[in-house]
Amino acid sequence: MKAMILAAGPGTRLKPITNHIPKALVSIDGKTLLEHQILKLKSAGFNEIIVNVHHFADQIIEFLQTKNNFNIRIEISDERDCLLDTGGAIRKAAWFFDDGKPFLVHNVDILSNVDLKNLIDFHQNIDNLATLVVNHRKTSRWLLFDKQMQLKGWYNETTGQTKPQGINLQLYQRYAFSGIQILSPKVFELMEKWNKVFSIIDFYLSCVEKEIISGYTNDEIKVLDVGKIQSLEDADIFLKNCVQ
């Protein structure tokens, strides 16, 4: 199975740590974030992974070389010339996902106890464009789902902005996106007319009228965003108590 790790971000929320290393190489419990993700993917059966790079890209490439790519196929999607945002990054990696099968995309700075095998099974049993892992946790930017857990909109609690504009918030359930998702290869066809740089969430929101984007959640899902300084202090405890 194939997967992508999104590791190109500048790690602004982790400064000053990321003044000298990329976010992907920040260490937690003796392993870099990138290593945590690769090992989790390997244990779930993923043996082909592409990693996008931008900030301190050479350090990430060198790290993978020293680890012998963890004895699986690992490719690099080079964004040093232009950071493409999540949607643009996925589209740039289309050449890698050439087998016509669904694939996983995982943010490098997300720790979770999500069972990736169960997630894959869930996605393969329904006819949808994408499956997004979501849960109830503190956030200011919510994804809005109907009773069938199909994505219908987005809401920024801080600014009051909604997508689509004017959507009735009372009709939908609010969930936080985890940065873990399964995509069907059909996404590449639908992305063709998009600009070079774009958000995957904006892309999904443009598709909700014609395509099914499902939310995947349960009461057991625990997620920690370690892309910010405050969360680094909690990460060791989270790994010991929550990650299986």
pTM: 0.96
pLDDT in tens, 105-117: 999 999 999 999 9
CATH dotted code for 2-241: 3.90.550.10
Examine the pLDDT at 186 and tell me if it is beyond 80. yes
227 confidence band (pLDDT: 50, 70, 90): confident
The residue extents of the domains of the chain are 2-241
Alpha carbons within 13 angstroms on the beta-carbon side of residue 119 total 30
Q: Tokens for 216, please give them.
A: 């995947």
pLDDT value at residue 65: 98
Nearest to 231 by CA among 106, 55, 143, 111: 111
Examine the pLDDT at 243 and tell me if it is beyond 80. no
Name the residue type at position 68. Answer: N
Q: Which range, of 79-88, 174-183, 226-235, averages the lowest pLDDT? A: 226-235
236 confidence band (pLDDT: 50, 70, 90): confident
Helices (H), the chain: 33-43, 57-66, 85-92, 116-124, 186-191, 200-207, 229-241
Count CB-CB contacts under 10 A for residue 92: 18
Residue 103 parent element (H or E): strand 103-107
Q: What is the DSSP string of 141-174?
A: EEEEE-TT-BEEEEEETTT--EESTT--GGGSEE
Examine the pLDDT at 63 and tell me if it is beyond 70. yes
